[in-house]
Amino acid sequence: MLSFKIRGWNAYTPSLESADSWGNWLQNKYILPTDAPKPGLKNIPLMLRRRFTTIGKYSVEAAMPILAENEHIPLVFASRHGDVELTLSLLQSIANNEPLSPTSFSLAVHNAISGLFSIARKDRSEATAISASENLIPFALLEAATQLQDNEHVLCIICESPLPDLYKPFASSPPFPYAIAMVLSREEGDTFHLKSAPAIASEQGQNNELEELMALLLSHRHCARFPSTQDVEWTIQR
Amino acid sequence: MTDLKLDIKNMIIDALELEDISPDEIIDSDPLFVDGLGLDSIDALEIGLALQKKYGIKLKADSKETHEHFASVNALAALVESYQEKN
């Protein structure tokens, strides 16, 4: 078992920008409006701002409010599929024998968002970009919590977007793009315990990771469960 | 502003996702890179690709001439004009 504290957290998708609105959505699971205003990122200079794709913008919106102005903090950036729309557009260009956009190519790497974030905040702390085909949330927290060995605080950003239709038959993805940011801390905030235990591999694999984590962060529940298709189950308790 | 220069500015705005900037905000003689508009090396590659798509001009990414052609909107317009005269 691994214990850590969370100094602050924030989740973002357009139309769910406060803990209350997330709590309301979690209880009612209504379909989100698609015409909600997108984040403006007005605090980031234009020349840098244009490089942030959707989940990049959401990551910034989620993380900025829980960080101090000039705080230097290592980052664990986690996304299962990353900027999958961008990756697909590049693959389609290759298939059509079209030249690739250098900008898209440079932004399609998995650590592009953490790199831009580092430039935008002028923070040269280390950044780790990870991915996992299941149990992304427990693994992201495992990585961030272990980095508390070397750091007082670690920022963890988890973001995901729906898969393009082409990929939908092959993997699960959330109904809307979102980003969740958490500042893990040695000393400050509520205590959480991360644990893995042997389990009977369930055919259905994962439940809804986003809902599990949000219910835990909002204290709707005291234990979040992350089953997997492997013979292990992760839990996070508070 | 000549039509060609306006076309080039619109090409830059489209290729580099600079929707917040209008063509008349880009000064013909201002540097495009570092100072002036403040573009970077990825933008240079992107403009190179846009020139190829729109005008059929192929440039070497690392040559000194390319550097000069990319100095400003004026320089890009001169490049396109000389290319169009030759072909």
Nearest to A102 among B38, B46, B53 (CB): B46
Instruction: Read off the pLDDT band of A234 (50, 70, 90).
Output: very high
Q: Which of B11, B33, B34, B46 to mutate to test the interface with A (most CBs of A within 10 A)?
A: B46
So what's the pLDDT on residue A70? 92
So what's the pLDDT on residue A229? 83
Six token digits for residue B59: 């440039």
Average confidence (pLDDT) over A138-145:
98
Please state, for a pLDDT cut of 70, what percent of chain A lies above it: 97
Tens digits of residue pLDDT in A32-66: 998 888 898 988 988 899 999 999 999 999 999 99
Task: Give one DSSP letter per residue of A157-222, joined into a string.
Answer: EEEE-PPPGGGGGGS---SS-EEEEEEEESSSSEEEEEEEEE-PPPTT----HHHHHHHHHTTS-S
Tens digits of residue pLDDT in A154-191: 999 999 999 999 999 999 899 999 999 999 999 999 99
So what's the pLDDT on residue B1? 57
Residue A17 and residue A24: Cα distance in Å, rounded?
A: 11
Contact B20 A46 (CB under 8 A): yes
> Is residue B49 within 8 angstroms of chain A, CB to CB?
yes
> Is residue B11 within 8 angstroms of chain A, CB to CB?
no
Q: How far is B83 from chain A (nearest CA, A)?
A: 21
Cβ neighbors of A1 (< 8 A, separation 6 or more) are A193, A194, A195
Q: Is the dihedral of CA A42, A44, A46, A48 positive or negative?
A: negative
> Is residue A222 within 8 angstroms of chain B, CB to CB?
no
So what's the pLDDT on residue A131? 97
Residue A193 and residue A3: Cα distance in Å, rounded?
A: 4
Q: Which of A41, A44, A50 to mutate to test the interface with B (most CBs of B within 10 A)?
A: A50
Tens digits of residue pLDDT in B17-66: 898 899 999 999 999 998 888 899 899 999 999 999 999 998 887 788 88
Nearest to B49 among A46, A47, A99 (CB): A99
Average confidence (pLDDT) over A87-113:
95
Average per-residue pLDDT for chain A? 93
Q: Which of A38, A42, A47, A106 to mutate to test the interface with B (most CBs of B within 10 A)?
A: A47
So what's the pLDDT on residue B36? 81
> Is residue A104 within 8 angstroms of chain B, CB to CB?
no
**Residue of chain A whose alpha carbon sits nearest to that of B45:** A102
Average confidence (pLDDT) over A123-129:
98
Six token digits for residue B43: 């933008």
Tens digits of residue pLDDT in A182-219: 999 999 999 999 999 998 766 555 568 999 999 999 99
> Is residue B39 within 8 angstroms of chain A, CB to CB?
yes
Nearest to B42 among A46, A99, A103 (CB): A103
Nearest to B46 among A46, A47, A101 (CB): A101
Burial of residue A2 (number of CB atoms within 10 Å: 0-12, 13-18, 19+): middle
Average confidence (pLDDT) over A102-108:
94
So what's the pLDDT on residue B62? 74
> Is residue A99 within 8 angstroms of chain B, CB to CB?
yes
A-B C-beta contacts closer than 8 Å: 25
Nearest to A50 among B18, B45, B53 (CB): B18
So what's the pLDDT on residue A190? 97
Give yes or no for residue A134 having a pLDDT over 60: yes
Chain B residues inside the 8 Å CB shell of A103: 16-17, 42-43, 45-46
Average confidence (pLDDT) over A86-111:
95
Nearest to A102 among B21, B49, B53 (CB): B49
Please state, for a pLDDT cut of 90, what percent of chain A lies above it: 84
So what's the pLDDT on residue A214? 97
Contact A102 B39 (CB under 8 A): no
